[in-house]
Structure formats: structure tokens, C-alpha cells
Amino acid sequence: MTTSPPNVAIIGGGPAGLIAADSLSARGVGVTIYERMPSVGRKFLMAGRGGLNLTHSEPAEVFLSRYREAEPRLRAAFEAFPPEALRTWCADLGIETFVGSSGRVFPRQMKASPLLRALLGRLNANGVSIRTRWCWTGFGNDGALLFDTPEGPKDCPAPDAVLLALGGASWPRLGSDGLWAKATDAAGIARTPFAPSNCGVEIAWSAQFATRFQGAPLKRIALSAGDHTIRGEAMITEHGLEGGGIYALSPDIRRALADTTVAATLTLDLRPDLTADALATRLSRPRGKASVSNHVRKSTGLAPAAVALLREAGERPQDAEALAARIKALPLPVAGMTGLEQAISSAGGIAWEGIDNGYMLKDRPGVFVAGEMIDWEAPTGGYLLQGCFATGRAAANALQVRLARER
């Protein structure tokens, strides 16, 4: 008597779904990936256009702190598949990685396409079937899976297990638009509303400032929102600020905007490496025939855009100590955040309260979730991809244990 291998449906062909398929198929599980776009890994490929930042080399506790409130939920998955394991997985696919000067980890070729090609080659060798342009629309009777396909609606019998890895709600043109929420909402699966993350903020610049300094960088600054302060960089846009320093404060800025009792404010320290006293001493030096702006620029080392920012926050103080205080704590009222369609990632998604420790939905045994469709967020810098890969592996491992137990 022979027993056929278990059959698993993975819905979503992003990093979490692909690494789960790799893990399961390597153990002899029959895997079918359903992807609603014409090809898999489209957002992954876009993320690698400027150099694929896979993960980060910083200490584990520092790394985990980047996930903020979700850290306790993600810890086990991270510890089971840390950055070192991700680099080993890449090496097994023939992709060499290296640590950059910032501590970020990249593939030697810097692109996503070689890694994706190598992975798809292994999935094919392991018998994984990939069906593109199959859009999951929900659950049917007895756990059947419903799809819209190029040939029309299809009702597929329930597989032995399902892994949902449908991504978040940003980058809609690449398929990450959160439309799957209609199906999960209809199935009664608890979800936190989507919100933009890793996105720019809107600030009402004066027309003169916006015209002159749009595209100018603000380097080596410190940024504060709520109780969090980080070192980083930002770039002035026509309507506000963007950049890694802004992105890392996305949760704090959202909370500030949601609090209607106070105005949301982003505070910049334009010279975090100097004390206010040191700045005041420099500013107190005679300026001779230099204009005030040039005196400030030469005395403090601020770029012209940063000097101009001092006026955007109101009339520039003439007193050296007051001006130094403004340089150290420049308040910028935040009017809003750019929308989901412009965000790098999204917050919100499937609520943790409905997920067990093995990434299975508590109310739907045999249905697992992974990746960005769960309610967690992280700044750019390799943290997003690490989280997707780690939860994909964790869900696949738990799913395999369940299949083995059932059989």
C-alpha cells in the first residue's frame, strides 16, 4: 500500500510564500503556489532595484527591538531563522552575501533576480507547481478554495493544509494591495485596519522653501516623534520629508496624528554631535560682514537647506543661545502621512490574537499565515524581508509538524 504525499496550497508568491514552499517541498510535501499576478516575487524584485537589502548584521536584541510591539510575537521565528540562517540559505542557492559598511546584508550581485531565479529553479526541481493569475477569493464549503482565474471562477477541493502569504497593502501595482482582506473578513478572520508604514510625512512648507530645497538631503541628524529618537537622514520633498529617519518613526507619527488633543510634531536635532552650549559658543563669535545665514552656516557646519529650515519653524532667533536651542530641537508640525499606495510597507493585517504560536489561525485549523499580511511592521534596512522569511519558515515548520501528526 502506498500513501500519497500531503498536498499544501500556498496562496501568495512573495518571500514568505516562496521560502515556505522551499522548506515544505524539500521534505517531500506536494506544494502548489497560487499567485494572482502574472509572475511571482514582483515586489521582491522591485525592492532589489537599488540593491537588495536582505537583512542586517546587528546584534539580535537590537534587531528584534526594531519590531517594537510585535517583538514578542516574532522572537521565536527570528531565533529559529536568524540573519545567519538566511545568509546560509542564500549560499545553498549559490548566492553569496556580504555585510556592507552600514551593517546591512546584501547579495554579492546586489540584485534580487539571481536569488529569485535560483529559488524558482529549486522549487521546480522539487515539483512545486506555480499557478499565476489565480486570485484567491475565499473559502468554500468544507474548506474548498475559491479562485478567479483566466478561465473563470474555480472551486478547488480543500488541500491538506493552506498557507496564506498574501502580503500587505502597499505597492498595489505589484499586487500588494490588501484586497485579500475581503475574503478574510468574510470568513470572520480578525484583522487590524491597514495603515501606511515606511512612508513620507506631509509638512506645509512655504512655497519659496519647497521650490528651492526640494530634493535636498538632511544628513547626520536626529529625529524625534513621541518617545522615540533615532539618528538618520531625511530628504526634503515638495510636500514634506522622506527617508530612512522618517520611515523608522512611522508608528510614532501615526499615533501622534491619531491623537486629536495635541498637534503632531516631528522634532529635528540638526547637529546631534554638538551640545547646545557648544553651538551657542560658536554662534556668539563676531560675524563681521557675513550675512546671518552665512554666519550660522559657517559657525555650525549646517547645510544651506538646514539653515533655511530654521526659518520654516518661525522667525529665526537672534540670540545665540535661543538659536542653538532651535538647532537642537527644531519643531515641524506634521499635517499627515503619504498614503498606502506610496508607502514602502503597511501596518495592520491579520490580528495576532487570532494566530497560535505556530502561525495557524485559531478558528481555522489547518490554515496558516505568514509574512507582511500579519499585523507587524518594521523599518527599512533588511528588517522587513527578514521578518517575511522568518515567519514563512516558521509557518512551514509548524504546518509540517501538523501534517506529520495527522498522518
Residue range 324-348, pLDDT digits in tens: 999 999 999 999 999 888 899 999 9
- Domain chopping of the chain, boundaries: 7-196+343-406, 201-337
pLDDT at 352: 97
Provide mean pLDDT across the span 300-325: 89
d(CA 36, CA 175): 7
Contact yes or no for 5/30 (Cβ under 8 A): yes
Cα 28 to the center of its chain, rounded Å: 32
Query: CB neighbours of 144 closer than 8 A, spacing ≥ 6?
Result: 155, 156, 157, 158
pLDDT at 2 over 70: no
Helix, strand, coil content of the chain in percent (nearest 5): 40, 25, 35
d(CA 301, CA 307): 10
pLDDT at 289: 72
d(CA 58, CA 14): 25
pLDDT at 286: 83
For 79-132, the pLDDT digits (tens) are 999 999 999 999 999 999 999 998 999 999 889 999 999 999 999 999 999 999
Q: List the one residue out of 204, 346, 178 whose CA is nearest residue 263.
A: 204
Considering the chain, what percentage of its residues have pLDDT values greater than 70? 99
pLDDT at 253: 94
Tell me the whole-structure pTM to 2 decimals: 0.91
Most confident residue range from 267-276, 295-304, 311-320: 267-276
pLDDT at 271 over 50: yes
Mean pLDDT in the chain? 93
Most confident residue range from 20-24, 227-231, 249-253, 286-290: 20-24
Q: Write out the DSSP string of 101-153.
A: TTSEEEETT--SHHHHHHHHHHHHHTT-EEEES-EEEEE-GGG-EEEEETTEE
For 37-47, the pLDDT digits (tens) are 999 999 999 88
For 163-201, the pLDDT digits (tens) are 999 999 988 888 888 999 999 999 999 999 999 999 999
pLDDT at 1: 38
pLDDT at 233: 93
pLDDT at 5: 82
The CATH H-level (homologous superfamily) assignment of domain 7-196+343-406 is FAD/NAD(P)-binding domain (3.50.50.60)
